[in-house]
Every structure is written in structure tokens, then in C-alpha cells.
Amino acid sequence: MSSHRNQAYLKTRVAVLSARLLSPQEIERLKGLTLNQLGETFDLLPIFEEDIDTRQKSRLVEQALLHRLMRELSVLLRPLSGRSRGLLLYWPRKFELYNLKTLIRGKMSHLEMEEIRDNLYELPENIRLPHESLLQAENVLEMLRQLDQGPYALIARQARNVFEEQHETFSLDAAIDRLYYTGMLRHANITDSIDKRGLKKVIGIMVDQQNILWLLRYRLVYHFAPSEAYYLLIPYGGRIQRDNLMELANLEGLETIIDHLPAPFQTLLSDAENITQVRQRLDRTVSVELQKLMHYSPDAVVSALSYLIIRDMDLMRFYAIIQSKLLQMDQAMLDEAVPGDAMDATTMEAVT
């Protein structure tokens, strides 16, 4: 996207949309609202008023929030063409890959077609898998044969291995995630962005977050061997590079791993007691770092991509608040799931 007019348009759009991002104070305020008040804020009242069970309501809310995100994406895509457009269009493919995971797992678990369908994201035509034909497949092998014919042949092979050898699906999930981030990097490499460094930083931030969380889960929860844990990670993060990642995979214990993380992760996570706390702090850090890129990157595409990622995280937080209200969880549990103001000072200090 070389045109100055398009850059200016996109920058303005991002600036206007960024007013919708949720500050920690806003998150705190939302946590204090009732379900109906939340519904009014995000036009979700009709869903809450429908005569359906909690699970269906939760599902509809999730879809509504995703549609909101996709609408914003389509606004940001308007001035873009060529590779920049391709890059921004690639980002939401993660939802398509979530769907792919759901489809494969659903078929492997012999779930009914309707049950699988209920758990799929409704996505715009241009980033959607041919769900219907995959859903109509009557068993796993048939679905994998269909996947064999398209861009997911490698995933199909991995899935077949998992299915035939009765393995856990971690390798499959990891392969899908790696496929996504590799694609993202490929797009970043070929785009004519004037801020490639910024762009790679955005991707690096996402990969680092993913790697830290999954490394901890593989090593501490599932007790995988270092080699297997490392194999399932993505070896091209932002601050955590290949050698670093190998070293981390060889360590034991939460504290030891955190102690060996590079800055600013080490300071940020130093007193984290469990993986949930690690996730929350990483989420907030990612948000702060991406906000900086959104505001200061010279390339509007980088700003737009950063905005979309933060917005997605915000909507996820908002969704967690709605879910807690729907399930009538108490305030303490909600605070634990969606920390607001309290954590912000620590995060800001660590990041800056």
C-alpha cells in the first residue's frame, strides 16, 4: 500500500476505531455492570431476551462479537489492495484454523454433525473452509481425504497419524498453529510495508506469548520430554529465539523457566504463581506493546493489524465477563479470570 491517501485513510480509520478499545478502568467498570447493562453497551440485548439456554446464549454472544470484529476488519480492508490486503486478510484465518481443529477433533470424537456445526465460527466467505462438505463427511478418514486435496494436506497427514496411532492431539494443534504463524511471517516478508520491523515485531509478540504459555503447559502440566515440548513450539519468536527456546525446553519448574526468560518477560512474570497468572500478564503486556505499535508505527497496515489483535483480545475479555454473568459466577472468580486495574501497574512497569 504505497498511496499516501490510502495510508492517511487507514491511519484515520484506526485512530477512530481505537477509541473503542477497552482500558483497564473500562474493563473494571464493565465487570460491575449487570447482564442487561452489558447487553445494552454492545447491542446484545436481543440475545439475552431470547428463550434459549445459557450455552446457546453464550454461543450467540461469541458469534456476535466475532461479527463485530469482522465488520471492523472489512472497514480497515477498504483502502488496501495487493499484498497489504493479503496480510490483513490472513490474520483472521486463525478463526478458520480454530474451525479446522474443531472439525478434526469433532470427527475424531464421533460427534454429531449439528454438535460440531454449533461450535464452528461463522466467518466471511473469503476466509472460510468448505465447512459443509467437511461436515458432511461421515467419518474421520473421509474428512481427511478431503483435506488431503487442499492446502491442509500436511495437517491431514498429521491428523491421520494421530487418529491411526491413537495419539494425543497436541501435535496436531501445534502443527496448525505453526502453519498459521509461518503463513503470517511469509506474508510479512513479501509485503511492501514501510515498517517491516514493526510488522515482524507484531508477529514476534504473538509467537512469544504462544510459546511461553505452551512451553509451560507441555513441560509442567503434560510432563513432555524437552525434545517433544520443543518440537511443538514455534522457533521464530520476537524476543525468544531458537537457542533460547531450546534452553528453556530443557529446564524444570515454573520458577526456573521464568528465571531464564529474557527481559521483559522475566521481570513481568517473576512472581507469577501459576500458568493462569502467566497468561493474564502476557495478555496485558501484548496489549500494551501492540498499543505502542498501533500509535507510533509509520505504516498504517501495522497499526491496523495491531488494532485488530488488541480488539480481539478486548472482545475475548468482554466475552469472559458476559460468560461469568451468564453462569452467575461470583466476583472473586470473575476478578481471577479477568484482572483489571490491579495488574496494570506491574505490567506497565515491566514493559516500559
Q: How far is the CB of 231 from another protein (least distance, A)?
A: 4
Q: Which is nearer to another protein, 38 or 140 (CB)?
A: 140
- Residues touching another protein: how many (CB under 8 A)? 30
Shortest separation between residue 274's beta carbon and another protein, angstroms: 25
Q: Cell 497489504 sits at which residue?
A: 84
Smaller CB separation from another protein, 42 or 231: 231
Q: How far apart are the C-alpha atoms of 130 and 146, rounded to whole Å?
A: 10
Angstrom distance (rounded) from CA 136 to CA 105: 15
CB nearer another protein, residue 132 or residue 341: 132
* 244 near another protein, judged by CB under 8 A: no
Contact stretch for another protein (CB under 8 A) within 44-52, 81-89, 99-107, 225-233: 225-233
Site for another protein in 134-163 (CB under 8 A): 136, 138-139, 141-142, 145, 148, 154, 157-158, 161
Answer yes or no whether residue 207 interacts with another protein by CB under 8 A.
no
Cell 497427514 sits at which residue? 157
Of 11, 190, 181, 13, nearest to 84 (Cα)? 190
The closest of 1, 4, 22 to 12, measured between CA atoms, is 4
Q: Which of 257/294 has CB closer to another protein?
A: 257
Q: How far is the CB of 110 from another protein (least distance, A)?
A: 14
Q: Does 252 bind another protein (CB under 8 A)?
A: no
The answer to whether residue 167 forms part of the interface with another protein (CB under 8 A) is: yes
In the window 109-138, what residues touch another protein (CB under 8 A)?
133, 136, 138
Taking CA 158 as the corner, what is the angle to CA 124 and CA 201, rounded to the nearest 5 degrees? 55
Residue 127 carries which DSSP code?
A: G
Q: Say which residues have a Cβ less than 8 Å from residue 338's Cβ, sequence separation at least 6.
A: 27, 31, 317, 320, 321, 324
Say whether residue 251 binds another protein (CB under 8 A): no
Backbone angles phi, psi at 236, to 5 degrees: -140, 65
Q: Which amino acid is present at 23?
A: S
Q: How far apart are CA 196 and CA 216, in angstroms?
A: 30
The yes or no reply on residue 227 touching another protein (CB under 8 A) is yes
Question: By CB under 8 A, is residue 242 in contact with another protein?
Answer: yes
d(CA 52, CA 35) in angstroms, rounded, equals 15
- Name 236's bridge partners: 241
- Output the smallest distance, CB 214 to another protein, in A: 13
183 binds another protein (CB under 8 A): no
| Burial tier of 257 (Cβ tally within 10 Å: 0-12, 13-18, 19+) | buried
Report if residue 228 touches another protein, rule: CB under 8 A: yes
User: In terms of CB distance, is 183 or 264 closer to another protein?
Assistant: 183
* List of residues contacting another protein (CB under 8 A): 133, 136, 138-139, 141-142, 145, 148, 154, 157-158, 161, 165, 167, 170-171, 174, 182, 225-228, 230-232, 235, 242, 246, 249-250
